Structure 1
């Protein structure tokens, strides 16, 4: 921006960048009152305070202590400290509303219109970037930033649908963790509980399902190594939040089935330790049946369910409500099984604990004190319920952090796009003032005021094209708005020239400047445009000169004018550079430039005059030129010149 402000006049740069200086109103204040106001404070009366409606914080001003008029009339005064919190909130809300109304594109090119010669400087105020910049002063920009922070933390934004559509990239890792939990559950049940064919079937089924899901995630991660059909299926599963959640719920249900393996429970429980002890029990309870049955420990069922609930919390991108519903389903199913049809599991475990205590204790009093007073069928639901609530709170916290992280990333992306948008616009504008290689030189390093940028060019073609009779056309009358309409037409003509030079066939050309109604251009100023062997950059400038003649004829036909154009061409070595600490100007110097200017000034209207050196180059390439003869040139004496009439393919 500093370079842009140094290149353009300040009033033009300010019009392009932003109108940030608000007009200040002159307010007449009584002399005796304005002299008594406090330094760096705003001194107001109570009547003024009533119109502020509490938008500003104030403190007593004690104006009567410093002014006799205020004291005699008992006028109460106050000192303004700053905006109140309500006023700050209103500003933040207004900034938030303005920000939400702006429509952002996904790319810089979509946001930024292509700069072309047909884009007038006066039209830049219509662009989206400058409309926004004109609407915000620095204070409003701060308010907008704070508004974005408030917006990112609002409840409505946390429930945006775009978060739920985000792809869960860690789904494969979640499944791997669930598979690890499943292996621990299997290990517990293999060690503790007796083996049955039904248990083995559960193990194999769940293991196959989990490995299949993990394989699907691996296909999604290494998509190019698998067939297209598998790629399509895996993308539909992993990239869809709904599908991946359904697979998660299905896996959790299967793991819970292992934890509730019914083959391990029985309504008839053997309490081998109570065989020779006197202990009261229900009539339907058989302590030592005829056929031996292994003893069971329901605590391990509870442990398996806890591991299953932990596996639910591994899936971070599932919503907290979804996790709660899944965990409640697991909890209710387990409690219905163990509290109703398999309630004997807990009763027998309590009896086992009591029997073990009676067997090891010698005193009845000591036994009663050591026996657990809360049964397992009461303690287990409480433990599982508290565990579910803890996991739900954890899920809520994780979801809130994930949503905030998503919104902050989205905000950072939008701010980065805006910054790139403004940077791209500044770069485009700068490239229309300086050549691209010169602009890149100044953008990549800090320039000192006394630093000189220059470049010696071996063979450059230079053109001067002037509208010879424009001074006769320009008059300042009331009918043409004191000459403004004449300048408007000249601007249209120069813009047409700029549009032609921006064509791809003339990419080797560089516009240097305009001086009044004279247009100056050159070719071959850098390595990318200089053609040492083919001299294509010289031919391109000759073609451009002929295009300008055709364009001027077209303008005369449609504007009912009779503008006459004189064009002068020359070639040779020049020195290009940028001079000036403020408003630096890119220009070229040398004898070649002076002679090209003389070819223009001594030329004939509607003709292209060239020097002898340029004549030899163009003739060798098939261009048609007419001999003019000797022309007296200021500072050079007499020179032989030629008129360029047509290209190698004729008129």
Structure 2
């Protein structure tokens, strides 16, 4: 990986014409890895071996991979190496053997660079560099920095490479084939269907009941949509039965009484079912009668009430299919020999009542979301009663009807025998109705299961989305996280923002390096890291206070805590407001630094330690942004950040060191400062620095 990183920087240098390089240091050993703190989580590693790897980088050479003896032994001759002499560049590497890895591609790259240099004229170097840089940028594949939060198994983007003829192509990752890519939304739907298919196996194949009792209970008590349509179909069957019987029967009085009682009941049930349409006029109805509009929903959503209405409708329909047959005379027809008298008995109406019974049985299956056991019970009860009536009670009427139709002594075939065909038709309709009822039950349960699966998946997706947002907001500032959420950001247009005045603070615990040890007593340093996590977590808790709302934690570097004030506000155009906000940011950061020192003192009293903070503060312009695509990290850059870091590294324990410009602003907000003197700062020369008197309280606002 280190060799490829150096090669990648080399390719970028050739493409852009910018003289940049990379040092890589590698060491093999033991580490403690994890996340510390409550905010701005970042995965990190700690150990003495990590510190050694850091010095291997600082003691390396540009464009080379610098490794230790331990790493060379693990390479087992996979790469050629040469003496690294790291002790001459880093004092902490003295007495340790180090090596530089020889890139096996270095010779071919050197020849290509020599050939490329001969072909490039000096006058066209600048123009060619800009063109090649544009081509290089266009060859990058668009990467959504936080796409892995919702799809951790997503394939990694293709890596751009430069061919010997200076054309840019993309390299396919090893093991990646030309397979069909399924859209994430479609994949989620397929997963849901697959989950539903697996859950269908939990359905009892005989009773169609869910093995999960809680799911069965939800299905039973769930609201039934379209109940009024089922009642309307049953009412239509009821009216059809009435029409058939009124046409073939002459017992007007008995029929008038029976239907006079059942018709109002059916009209009442039908009216209740359609009261849901009154919901839109509920606000215009008097308060006394507004409850009527809720009757339909009440019946649909209450299982017991719904079952009562369904059973009542079906019982009325099944009963009225044969009730008026009782009032038709003809039980003693076998003793009548006169043909005229037989014709007056209306024996021809018996087959029509059979048709009414068959129609009533079909009316049972029009109700959806009604328990299969209830339908089976009603159908079984109906077919038993109907078979008893047509095969036993009214069997003489069938014989008389045959004698009346075939008076010459001949007997009809089986298919024309009313008694036999009555039993055949009733059994056939019974079986068909059971099959249809079972199919309807299965369909309803599958629909309910799919709907339940989709709701569960939606809830899980919403939960995961909220968790991802919280996680993202814990990694990035809130205003930066909102920039990325729901957007497809190109690599070239990642978040960056410049600020004119930001107060930057570095607070370190130098004594922690001496405190940290790797022994069996503290579980190879794990207990030390637990204590550091408690310190950083307590520091993070201070950020939740309203007065520190403008302070943003940037990151932790080992035992150093980095924060900045003034990043949450949009850049201002008004100069007066800029000055006011600058003073406010400095005052807030000083108060936060003092709060950190007080918090550490409180921790010391409970942990019996004597840790002290060393703090450096500076203010000025910075650039904030997010770098990286697979491990994006929010950070700030600028000379002000570097100086703040130097104020910490050159500071004194239990002191807050600031530059002269920052000291003037600190004094203007009510704090006293003490001149330290001139300090030699690496990369900046000699700077005059001051210490803030933290004992001074009650700053002027």
What TM-score comes out, normalization by structure 2 length?
A: 0.59
Moved more, 592-601 or 240-249: 592-601
1:625 is paired with a residue of what secondary structure?
A: coil
Correspondence list, 1:321-332, <5 A: 321-332=373-384
Partner of 2:243: 187
Q: Aligned to 1:163, which of 210, 213, 216?
A: 216
CA distance in 2, matches of 1:507, 1:538: 13
Cα pair 2:391 2:422 within 8 Å, conserved: no
2:335 is paired with a residue of what secondary structure?
A: coil
CA distance in 2, matches of 1:495, 1:211: 71
Q: Aligned to 1:310, which of 347, 351, 362?
A: 362
Whether 1:627 and 2:680 are equivalent positions in the alignment is: no
1:591 shift after superposition: 3.2
1:184-228, CA deviations, whole angstroms, 9 ceiling, x for partnerless residues?
223333444347344334434434333433444445687683868
Correspondence list, 1:588-599, <5 A: 588-599=636-647
Partner of 1:461: 503
Q: Call closer, same or farther: CA 1:555–1:303 in 2, change over 3 Å.
A: same
CA distance in 2, matches of 1:433, 1:638: 36
Partner of 2:688: 638
1:171 shift after superposition: 2.5
CA distance in 2, matches of 1:221, 1:11: 67
Correspondence list, 1:446-485, <5 A: 452-475=494-517, 479-480=521-522, 483-485=525-527
2:365 is paired with a residue of what secondary structure?
A: helix
Q: Call closer, same or farther: CA 1:580–1:324 in 2, change over 3 Å.
A: closer
Q: Call closer, same or farther: CA 1:408–1:282 in 2, change over 3 Å.
A: closer
Partner of 1:251: 313
Correspondence list, 1:118-133, <5 A: none
Partner of 1:77: none
Cα pair 1:435 1:510 within 8 Å, conserved: yes
CA distance in 2, matches of 1:160, 1:529: 58
CA distance in 2, matches of 1:470, 1:412: 52
Correspondence list, 1:339-418, <5 A: 339-340=391-392, 342-343=394-395, 345-351=397-403, 353-354=405-406, 374-411=416-453, 413-414=455-456
Partner of 1:432: 474
2:672 is paired with a residue of what secondary structure?
A: strand
CA distance in 1, matches of 2:343, 2:435: 48
1:391 shift after superposition: 0.8
* Alignment: residue pair count: 494
Partner of 1:587: 635
CA distance in 2, matches of 1:165, 1:482: 53
Cα pair 1:199 1:258 within 8 Å, conserved: no
Partner of 2:19: none
Partner of 2:565: 523
Q: Show structure 2 runs of 5+ residues with no match.
A: 1-30, 36-40, 42-189
CA distance in 1, matches of 2:302, 2:535: 57
Whether 1:509 and 2:551 are equivalent positions in the alignment is: yes
Q: Call closer, same or farther: CA 1:649–1:375 in 2, change over 3 Å.
A: farther
1:421-459, CA deviations, whole angstroms, 9 ceiling, x for partnerless residues?
556555544443333444455554556666654222344
Partner of 2:609: 561
1:592 is paired with a residue of what secondary structure?
A: helix
Q: Show structure 1 runs of 5+ residues with no match.
A: 1-9, 17-141, 271-280, 356-363
Moved more, 246-255 or 627-636: 627-636
Q: Call closer, same or farther: CA 1:608–1:298 in 2, change over 3 Å.
A: farther
1:209 is paired with a residue of what secondary structure?
A: helix
1:462 is paired with a residue of what secondary structure?
A: strand
Partner of 1:101: none
Partner of 1:95: none
1:37-76, CA deviations, whole angstroms, 9 ceiling, x for partnerless residues?
xxxxxxxxxxxxxxxxxxxxxxxxxxxxxxxxxxxxxxxx
Q: Call closer, same or farther: CA 1:310–1:567 in 2, change over 3 Å.
A: same
Q: Call closer, same or farther: CA 1:283–1:496 in 2, change over 3 Å.
A: same
CA distance in 2, matches of 1:395, 1:546: 77
1:512 shift after superposition: 0.8
CA distance in 1, matches of 2:678, 2:412: 127
1:315-345, CA deviations, whole angstroms, 9 ceiling, x for partnerless residues?
2322333212101222233344445555555
What TM-score comes out, normalization by structure 1 length?
A: 0.63
CA distance in 2, matches of 1:146, 1:613: 66
1:232 shift after superposition: 8.0
1:315 is paired with a residue of what secondary structure?
A: coil
Whether 1:175 and 2:231 are equivalent positions in the alignment is: yes
Cα pair 1:631 1:641 within 8 Å, conserved: no
2:349 is paired with a residue of what secondary structure?
A: coil
Correspondence list, 1:42-81, <5 A: none
Q: What's the C-alpha RMSD, in Å, of the aligned pairs?
A: 4.6
Partner of 1:206: 262
Whether 1:492 and 2:538 are equivalent positions in the alignment is: no
1:603 shift after superposition: 4.9
